[in-house]
Structure 1
Amino acid sequence: MKVTSFDVAKAAGVSQSTVSRALRGDPSIGAETVRRVAAVAAELDYVPSERARDLSTRSTRRIAMVVDLDNPLWALLVRRLYDQLAERDYRLTLVAGHGDTQNIESQVAGGGVDGVILSTVSLDSSLPALLRRRGVPAVLLHRYVEGTELDSCVADNRAGGAAAARMLLRAGHRRIGALLGPATTSTGRDREAGFRGLLAEAGVELDETLVRYGRFDFDHGRESVPALMEGAAPPTALFCANDIIALGAMNSAHELGLRVPGDLAVIGFDDLEQAAWPTVALSTVHVPFDDMLHSAVTLLGERIGGWSGAGRLVIHPVTPVERGTHGPNDTGRSV
């Protein structure tokens, strides 16, 4: 027969409600009572019911994360977020950001979770404002939307775009192309703005015929390079709005028989684990994802705990990482 909290209460000489509060760490229960209840529970091999605990505390102990399943970055974020939430006794629920809008809203705003982390919002997304209106604790991670009054944890994408441009200029490049992300996202917009801004300050014009926009995916990089390199005046270097695009561009360059960086320099953004592989050695911009996740979980925990102040924007600094793909051109072509 399954042992219940009533059995523990009887053996410990306390009420059933005292057992529940003692085992969930309620500070109103004395230390001696907590020790006695814990000892009896261990002796009887009692396992608390999560459902009963959730009902008694009006908490689901679940955090929903809205992700873009088409963006390979989500797997990195989810793995690390799962560990950080587990340390705080929360479980992670994934919601696909490209699904039906009403279905997404019902999953994250219907009371089935304690809080929401949004990592896939576009600049015109209505979901952040909806969560704010309904009083659902939420935080924007990696991307943000102005005016929503939600907490946001992002990287300094403008500074990162500028750092990428600076690395290419220092390597001697002047004819530079760019494989940019969607302008409908804060990451795409801000990385582009930082990159263009630094080039303009240096007096280097970005030839619009060498600019391509696309998704933050491998195919964007792989499919864009052939057309750029077949032109009358191809670029000597490419800024890619994330590492996945850069990997696609490097793969395409290899298929075309081009050397990286000898024929075409490439620089990415994010500093994924693959970027540091010796066979890749991608020059990139490091984004401190662990720090961003920690900030997001901390801010969300404060919201769940009842903090109701104005929305906070936490911008984490980025760092240029010089590896082997952004070096000078050695073909004799004008750089």
Structure 2
Amino acid sequence: MAREAGVSQATVSRALRSNSSISARTREKVIEAARKLGYIPNELGRSLSTRATGRIALVADLDNPLWPMLVGQIHDELASRGFSLTLLAERGDPVGMETKLLSGWADGVIITSAHLHARLPKELAQRKVPVVLVNRALEDLSADAAVADNLAGGRASAQLLLDSGHTRLGALFGPTDTSTGQMREQGFRDVLAEAGVSLPKSRVRYGPFAFTHGRESLPALLKGRYPPTAIFCANDIIAIGAMNSAHEMGVRVPEDIALVGFDDLDQASWPLFNLTTVRVPFEAMLRSAVSMLVERLSGYEGPGRVQVHPIMTVRRGTHQAAARPGEDGGAA
């Protein structure tokens, strides 16, 4: 491997341990050489008899406010099965994290924030490291995943707004490089197309699953000649950001603008928000993800499984405004 990477054996050893004396560029060369040669270093701390650590790594995007709320549930589910949980944040040194996970540092990996072109899940699957995706899935990856029925959730949101009398709709969609963002958008658009209702570009904004997306994007949606009377938000955090922006602008919810979120976080039910949303069964999703991972650790070697969990519409107080005259408004 040292010859392949063009460095000394000592440098290889330090690079694979993520030693701070090794530059990121050199470490990447070593990792690429290891990948090319199919080399997986053994973690020293593991049991020599079982080759198991009892540790599960959780890879999460801590900028997404959803996952800090759920780490405790994942921890408890793993603990009930005799595993400890170590959280790895998707920031800092991705090469070092990949090296650690490929080395056998943990028995298995749970990934909660996979993007469609993410390399880590594919590397883990290729090296036969037990891995399960939660909330998001990758179509070109044969790995286990536990997800919500995001397509059905997008469809349910659109139908709810149409049934409430809205035909001039807008959307604050999520990131296009995630399965959740894509499927929720597709479901929403499919129902509008079936109903013959347009969704012009002027009434659509894309952004992260973040409070700032809702807060900063709502004013732009309301500037047009025919602004939407109702907006689908790709998650509750976006919707709460939009509600805060509406409050600052003196726009009433739902009297002036109706909103629907997605996820049904605890905050959605707070009287301050009373947000109509789509409930994702996170607890069931996490349980099924842990179960699939434990089955892999117990010897299951079958093809990747995707467990799709049903969603439920939760009607509260942000979607019920009556349609106003001239609501069809054309494709502004």
Q: TM-score scaled by structure 2?
A: 0.83
- In 1: Cα distance, 2:114 partner to 2:126 partner: 17
Does residue 110 of the first structure (1) align with residue 103 of the second (2)?
yes
Give the deviation of 1:52 after TM superposition: 9.1
Alignment of 1:211-222 (within 5 A): 211-222=204-215
- Structure 1 unaligned runs (5+)? 1-50
Aligned position for 1:87: 80
* 2:249 aligned residue (256, 264, 268): 256
Code of the aligned partner of 2:177: T
Aligned position for 2:265: 272
Aligned position for 1:72: 65
Deviations 1:118-164 (A, max 9, x none): 11111111111111111100101100111211011100000000000
* 1:242 aligned residue (223, 235, 246): 235
Code of the aligned partner of 1:136: V
Deviations 1:218-273 (A, max 9, x none): 00000011121122211101100000000000010011111100000000000000
Give the deviation of 1:329 after TM superposition: 3.8
Alignment of 1:175-190 (within 5 A): 175-190=168-183
Code of the aligned partner of 1:209: S
Larger-gyration structure (1/2): 1
- Structure 2 unaligned runs (5+)? 1-43
Deviations 1:99-126 (A, max 9, x none): 3331221122211101000111111111
Does residue 296 of the first structure (1) align with residue 289 of the second (2)?
yes
Does residue 315 of the first structure (1) align with residue 301 of the second (2)?
no
| Contact 1:226/1:252, CA 8 A, preserved across alignment | yes
- Percent identity reads 55
| Contact 1:199/1:205, CA 8 A, preserved across alignment | yes
- In 2: Cα distance, 1:329 partner to 1:232 partner: 20
Give the deviation of 1:55 after TM superposition: 4.6
- In 2: Cα distance, 1:225 partner to 1:181 partner: 14
Q: TM-score scaled by structure 1?
A: 0.82
- In 1: Cα distance, 2:308 partner to 2:323 partner: 38
| Contact 2:148/2:280, CA 8 A, preserved across alignment | yes
Alignment of 1:1-335 (within 5 A): 54-329=47-322, 332=325, 334=327
Give SS of 2:70's match. Answer: helix
Give the aligned length.
285
Code of the aligned partner of 2:314: V
Give SS of 1:167's match. Answer: helix
